[in-house]
Every structure is written in structure tokens, then in C-alpha cells.
Amino acid sequence: MKAEIITIGDEILIGQVVDTNSAWIGEQLNRYGIEVFQITSVHDDALQIKEAISQAAQHADLVLITGGLGPTKDDITKKVLCDYFDCKLVLNEQVLEHVTTMLSRRNIDINQLNKDQALVPEKCDVLHNPNGTAPGMWFEQNDTIYISMPGVPFEMMGLMEQAILPRLQKNGKVKSIYHQTVLVYGVPESMLAEKIEPWENALPDFIKLAYLPNQLMIRLRLSAYGANKEILETEVSRQIELLKSYLPEQIFGYNKDSLAGVTGQLLAKGKLTLGIAESCTGGNIAHMFTENPGSSGYLKGGIVAYSNEVKEALLHVQATTLEAHGAVSREVALEMAQGALDALQTDYAIATTGIAGPDGGSEEKPVGTVWIAVVSKKNQTVHCYNFAHNRERNILRSSQAAINLLRQLILKENPTLA
């Protein structure tokens, strides 16, 4: 089953309100095996609304409409639906009773505008709205289902969860759909595509692959469509196992995992501890770890050593090292990491030092130059990165790179944790 979502309201088009409804609806439909084909936003204009519905019906089995059901004159969706389905508005006594009861509980006197909420197109099935006065409306015409809902998010959600999704599941038109997302770090998108091309070309026809890159990672989403969900799950799992042979070090997690969360789980599983020394990242690495519950079990602490004086006093970076190599250098990064390891008495330590920007760069060390060191009691790894000129992105990417270096060192020393 293919669906289109139509959101109605000038407030969405001018950016006054963010369309969170479509994202939520799309996520829910996906769980029921319904593919969202298109999302359309239109003005509070009768001709535009009617045209959007007509166009959606040409390629969608399910048309979901949100907005324009309030009691004021600019809410015209019901009138447009009457015109589209060639019917008139009729009074629904159950809706009127619900509206009256709801307003009475709030000590609000009912007026004609409130009563008009109980007027519904005569060709629709009325869907009870437990959270508001505007009912949902279900139409069927030429093998297409049309559903109109309020634009208020919690009202729309209540209708979807209690009335719409259960009814869609029972109508026999939905098929199984199964998604798994593989999280990849440390390889550019173009190189990744080239690297896994043989695997991608051999995917079964019922599995689609999507590349979803952002500045933190690349997400590879496998979507399987068919009649039997168990078969889909089995085949997707098999394909992911095959993918691992192409990306033995780059795959770090799945679905909603984060690199900090996965690395923290490795530390917790191995009963290992971590200390952090941050200069250019300014505490962001510690923040990324502490976003995850249970981080107090492995993160002992962090030192934000922004100035050279703090590097020397708390991390015991040598003044001669700073003078000879500068704060942004391999040598200083290593001494910072070793200083954190010693000061915090941990199994592992991370250190970052760099030029986040937008100023402070030079020809030798341009903005975006970052040295990252990770040390343990037995090993050390240090790497220089050259990021871009955006300060926020440099901090974020430096933090992610540092955590990944830590993850790799943990697995190198503790392969049984994999």
C-alpha cells in the first residue's frame, strides 16, 4: 500500500510551524508496512486542497490529510471534502454530544462555531477524536482510502493510534515491511559505495538499499518488502552478515545506536574506565558519553584544558613540548592523553587539541587541523585530521573521530568484546 500525506495550513508554508505530523505519521505507517510515496503541503485554499487530493489519488492507495478542521472561517477542509466527494454536511449527534461534554468540563459555553464541529460530510465514516472537538473522517472511493484528521499533533496521534492504524491493519491491504539500518563510520560515501558494490548488486529484488549520510556517519538502510515478515527479517539479517565482511572495522552499530553509546557499552562490558582531556572540543566528548545512561560506570572524569597553563598544571604537558611543537601537535596530544590517564587513573584516555576556527589558523596549521590521541596502559594511537572551516562541525567531527579511535583501540586490545 502506498500513501501520500497532505498537510494543510499557511503556517507550515511560511515556517511559523514545523511539520512534525508528517514525520510521525510516516514512522507509524512504516511499522504497518505502508510506504509513504509523497508528502505535500498546501495553503488554506480550496482549489489547492482539492487539486492536491486529486493528484494524490492518482498514485496513492491511502491519502492522509491533516489540518483545516478547526471551528474558524479559515478552516475549510470539510467543505472541500464535501465538494470533492459530491455530498453535503450533516449533523452527527454523537460528535455534538462529545463536543458539548468536552466544553462543559472546561466550563466553556458552547456557541454555534463549536456546534458546527459536529457537521461532517455525509459520505464519511466518523472517527472519534478523544482529545479534541474535531472528529476524524474516513472516506473510500475507487479503491482509495482518504482520511482527514486535525492538525493538532496530540489529537492526530490519538486518532491514528486508536482508530486509524488498527482499521488499516484489518482491511487486508497492508503488506509486510522490515527495515534495518547499519551505521558506518570512517569511510566517505563514494568510497563506501565502491567498496560494497558487489554486495549491493547481489541484493534480492525485494530489498532496497538507501545511503543516508550526515556529518557523523553514513547510515545504510535496508528495506525489505513482502508478504511474510519472518522471511524478510531472516534475509535482511543474512545480508547484514555478508556486509560485515566488506566493512569489518567501519560498522559500529545499528538503527538508533550512537558511536558514544556503542563505545560506552564496550567499556561497561569490559569493566574498563575512561578519562578525557579536551582542548578544542571543549567538553563535547564528555557530553556525548554522558548522554547515555550508565556512563557513570565507566567515565571517571574529564579535563577541559583550553589554555597552555592548564595543560601544564593539570595534565603535566611539558613547557618545552609546547614551545617546540605548539599546542596543536602530535606530541602535545599524546602528553595530554597520558596526563589524563595518570591523573584520572583510568584504563583509557582521549585527548584532543586543534584549531576549531573560524580564526587562529596558519599556512602550516589551517583551521580544522586537529590532533587526537588515545592511550591505554599498553598502547597508544594518534592521528591528525583536517576538517573544514565551520567551528561547530569541527568540534562535532573531532569528537566523533576521537570516540571512534577509542572504540578501535578497545577492540584491538579486547577482541572478545566485539
What's the whole-number mean pLDDT along residues 62-78?
92
The residue with cell 505502508 is 34
Is it the case that residue 22 has pLDDT exceeding 90?
yes
Tell me the average pLDDT of the chain.
95
Sign of the Cα torsion 202, 204, 207, 208 reads positive
Is it the case that residue 48 has pLDDT exceeding 80?
yes
Q: What pLDDT, on the 0 to 100 scale, is given for residue 30?
A: 85
Q: What pLDDT, on the 0 to 100 scale, is given for residue 175?
A: 72
Domains in the chain, number = 3
What's the whole-number mean pLDDT along residues 358-384?
94
Strands 299-304 and 348-354 turn out to be unpaired
Q: What pLDDT, on the 0 to 100 scale, is given for residue 349?
A: 98
Q: What pLDDT, on the 0 to 100 scale, is given for residue 173?
A: 64
Same domain assignment for residues 33 and 127: yes
Q: What pLDDT, on the 0 to 100 scale, is given for residue 225?
A: 87
Query: Which CATH number does the domain housing residue 224 bear?
Result: 3.30.70.2860
Same domain assignment for residues 310 and 394: yes
Q: Which residues contact 256 (CB under 8 A, 6 or more apart)?
A: none
What's the whole-number mean pLDDT along residues 57-86?
93
pLDDT band at 373 (very low <50, low <70, confident <90, very high): very high
Q: Are 374 and 350 in contact (CB under 8 A)?
A: yes
Same domain assignment for residues 101 and 24: yes
Q: What pLDDT, on the 0 to 100 scale, is given for residue 353?
A: 98
Same domain assignment for residues 90 and 136: yes
Give the domain-ending residue among 150, 171, 192.
Answer: 171
Q: Which three cell numbers stand for residue 143?
A: 479503491
Strands 218-226 and 207-213 turn out to be antiparallel
Query: Which CATH number does the domain housing residue 26 bear?
Result: 3.40.980.10
Residue type present at position 282: G
Same domain assignment for residues 96 and 238: no
Question: DSSP code of 163?
Answer: I
Q: 202-224, pLDDT tens digit by residue?
A: 999 999 999 999 888 999 999 99
Give the domain-ending residue among 207, 231, 254.
Answer: 254
Q: What pLDDT, on the 0 to 100 scale, is given for residue 177?
A: 83
Is it the case that residue 400 has pLDDT exceeding 80?
yes
Same domain assignment for residues 90 and 187: no
Percent of the chain with pLDDT over 90: 87
Is it the case that residue 263 has pLDDT exceeding 80?
yes
Q: 137-154, pLDDT tens digit by residue?
A: 999 999 999 999 999 999
pLDDT band at 229 (very low <50, low <70, confident <90, very high): confident
pLDDT band at 359 (very low <50, low <70, confident <90, very high): confident
What's the whole-number mean pLDDT along residues 238-244?
98
Same domain assignment for residues 197 and 345: no
Strand segments, DSSP code E, in 49-104 are 62-66, 89-91
Q: 155-172, pLDDT tens digit by residue?
A: 999 999 999 999 998 876
Q: Are 72 and 155 in contact (CB under 8 A)?
A: no
Q: 170-184, pLDDT tens digit by residue?
A: 876 667 788 999 999
Q: Are 233 and 178 in contact (CB under 8 A)?
A: yes
Same domain assignment for residues 209 and 351: no
Same domain assignment for residues 162 and 195: no
Task: Name the strands in the sheet holding 144-149, side by side, starting at the edge strand that comes first in the sequence.
Answer: 35-42, 2-8, 62-66, 144-149, 136-141, 125-127
Q: 266-298, pLDDT tens digit by residue?
A: 999 999 999 999 999 999 999 999 999 999 999
Same domain assignment for residues 192 and 292: no
What's the whole-number mean pLDDT along residues 187-216?
95
Query: Which CATH number does the domain housing residue 366 bear?
Result: 3.90.950.20
Domain limits for position 20: 2-171
pLDDT band at 332 (very low <50, low <70, confident <90, very high): very high
Same domain assignment for residues 298 and 383: yes
Q: What pLDDT, on the 0 to 100 scale, is given for residue 205?
A: 95
Same domain assignment for residues 13 and 68: yes
Give the domain-ending residue among 171, 187, 217.
Answer: 171
